[in-house]
Structure 1
Amino acid sequence: MNKVGVIILTYNRIDLLKITLCRVLNQTYKPSEILVVDNFSTDGTIDYLRSVEGINTLFLGQNTGPAGGFYEGVKYFAENTDVEFVWMMDDDFFPFMSCLENLMQSVDKEKILFPYTREKNFVFRKEPGWWGVLVPMDIIKKVGYPKKDFFFWSEDTEYLLYRIREKYNFKAQWVKPAKGVHFTERIKNHRHTWKYYYEVRNMMFMRLYVRKPTLRRYYKLMRSWLFLLGAIVVKENEKFSKLKMFLYGTWHGITKKLGKRIDPSSGKKLKL
């Protein structure tokens, strides 16, 4: 029986975490270890996790974003355990009880697997992301860990789609019998101001310096950039603050300034 380590990343969503953890603990295929990585929650999550049996925890000293959280989780399993596969998810992914079992029936150490995932609004995900992706440790040891300097946004795209699939040519397989629900609906309008900084910065960096440059990619970059700009001007409140963050993120993407530079809790620039 193959050994599977589970990473659940959480931050201030204790109600969602309880559901995800319950579903993972009751999988028909039992993982060897469940690791909950807490990104410095302040809503009672830490006390709750200390009361749960059958799991391990990694409490981070600050909010490192999805990029930092999955970096630390993957690093933990790669350097401290003998698991053969790592099953990764955010705290808002609710796997069906047989999800892992069905993934393991298609297991292959030369490809990543991801489940049939329905969003809250009934849109289906047909690309891998932090919603139950299963990655062989053999692949992790070849390609490395998620890029923690992204902090928020595009870190799963860089790791799963570009680095693993495009750069190293490992396949990604959609396993339809393995099912789950991604419960938190992504809101396109009225985003927090700080999100515009990371979204445009990481998009610029990815398409300018990570992926192979082509005229088509430059065109798509400009189109996406203009779309985000238009969304702020036409649909958003607090336009001036969001435009400032948008332009600040654009500059940092072009000049390769990554890392956690805007504090989500305050929306202010950090002194580095």
Structure 2
Amino acid sequence: MKPDVGVVIVTYNRLNLLKITLCKVLAQTFNNTEVLVVDNNSTDGTRDYLDSLSKVSKLLLTENMGPAGGFYEGIKYFTEKSDVKYVWLMDDDFFPFKSCLETLVTSVDTNTMVFPYIREKDFISRRDPGWWGVLIPISIIKKVGYPMKELFFWTEDSEYLLHRIRGQYKYKAKWVSAAKGVHFTKRETNHRPPWKFYYETRNMLYMRLFEREITMRRSLKLVKSWMKLLGSILLKENNKNEKLKMFFRGTKDGIQRKLGKKVDPVSGQYY
């Protein structure tokens, strides 16, 4: 029987989390699926582990392409090489409840992407779609295309799911509260390396300056967000000099529309 749902799990150097996510996905009550793990060139034993699995398809990238590149390749895989009707998208830190996919499948239609009730590790809930279990019909993907792999990290999910699918193409996004899952990791002060500030600043500026319609309200919101991020570095973060350096490089590149993988997450080197 051909699978109805293609599951895309993007991972990078988080083998312990990936094992839990795969356990949860493979135990779903709806199991007419093909599960694909997109590995962003992990170095923590992930590939040896994946080699031991017979029920999981693998897409082993030769470099770390970030979440943007990982989901680009995973969605492309199912859109061009498979006959699935839907893709179910998640990071390696999303733990779906056993009936999550079954509930989503019963709620979806060809003009609607659906997403579950998400509880964060710190008990905050999310009511917008993201890389935590959103289910998208292939028919929608064939209309809107794939995620922007040039963003590499940060805002690539909101660009694709909120700005493009829901905003530009006017497809519906339905929150299915009966479908549940846990997003296990969370942002914490002083635990974010400098390179993350580069991509957050650059992609925020690029999206709000060049992908969305500029209005007075949005311009003020952009300035406020930029100042808030700068203030958080100055007041809350350690290693301020490196983080400020990446913040201002991200500011410059965002204004100049320089996208792509510009800072390596491992070395911190700016290309």
Range class of TM-score, shorter chain: over 0.9
Partner of 2:56: 55
- Structure 1 position 173 matched with structure 2 position 170: no
CA distance in 1, matches of 2:186, 2:211: 28
Provide structure 1 residue ranges, at least 5 long, that are not aligned to the other structure.
Answer: none
CA distance in 2, matches of 1:187, 1:130: 19
- Structure 1 position 118 matched with structure 2 position 130: no
Matching residue's letter, 2:153: F
Number of residues of Structure 1 aligned to a counterpart in Structure 2 = 270
Write out per-residue CA displacement over residues 236-256 of structure 1, whole angstroms, 9 at most, x where no aligned residue.
111111111101000000000
* Stretches (4+) displaced over 4 A: none
Measure how far apart 1:2 and its partner are.
7.4
CA distance in 2, matches of 1:31, 1:91: 20
TM-score of the superposition, structure 1-length normalised? Answer: 0.97
Measure how far apart 1:154 and its partner are.
0.1
Contact residue 103 and residue 178 of structure 2 kept, 8 A: yes
Partner of 1:156: 157
Provide structure 2 residue ranges, at least 5 long, that are not aligned to the other structure.
Answer: none
Partner of 1:208: 209
Helix, strand or coil for the counterpart of 2:123? coil
CA distance in 2, matches of 1:157, 1:188: 22
Helix, strand or coil for the counterpart of 2:173? strand
Contact residue 38 and residue 59 of structure 2 kept, 8 A: yes
Partner of 1:234: 235
CA distance in 1, matches of 2:147, 2:189: 25
CA distance in 2, matches of 1:62, 1:31: 31
Partner of 1:11: 12
Helix, strand or coil for the counterpart of 1:172? strand
Write out per-residue CA displacement over residues 74-122 of structure 1, whole angstroms, 9 at most, x where no aligned residue.
0000100000100000000000010000001111110100000100000
Partner of 2:263: 262
Matches within 5 A, 1:1-272: 3-270=4-271
Contact residue 6 and residue 31 of structure 1 kept, 8 A: no
Matching residue's letter, 1:248: R
Helix, strand or coil for the counterpart of 1:212? coil
CA distance in 2, matches of 1:45, 1:148: 22
Q: CA RMSD in A?
A: 1.1
Write out per-residue CA displacement over residues 199-230 of structure 1, whole angstroms, 9 at most, x where no aligned residue.
00000000000011111111110000000111
Identity within the alignment, %: 62
CA distance in 2, matches of 1:85, 1:237: 43
Measure how far apart 1:173 and its partner are.
0.3
Helix, strand or coil for the counterpart of 1:174? strand
- Cα–Cα, structure 1 residues 52 and 190, in superposed 2: closer, same or farther, change >3 Å? closer
CA distance in 2, matches of 1:229, 1:174: 33
Contact residue 189 and residue 237 of structure 2 kept, 8 A: no
CA distance in 2, matches of 1:234, 1:79: 48
CA distance in 2, matches of 1:231, 1:48: 39
Matching residue's letter, 1:102: T
CA distance in 1, matches of 2:13, 2:24: 19
Measure how far apart 1:31 and its partner are.
3.4
Matching residue's letter, 2:90: M
CA distance in 2, matches of 1:46, 1:214: 47
CA distance in 2, matches of 1:31, 1:220: 44
Write out per-residue CA displacement over residues 143-169 of structure 1, whole angstroms, 9 at most, x where no aligned residue.
000000000000000000000000000
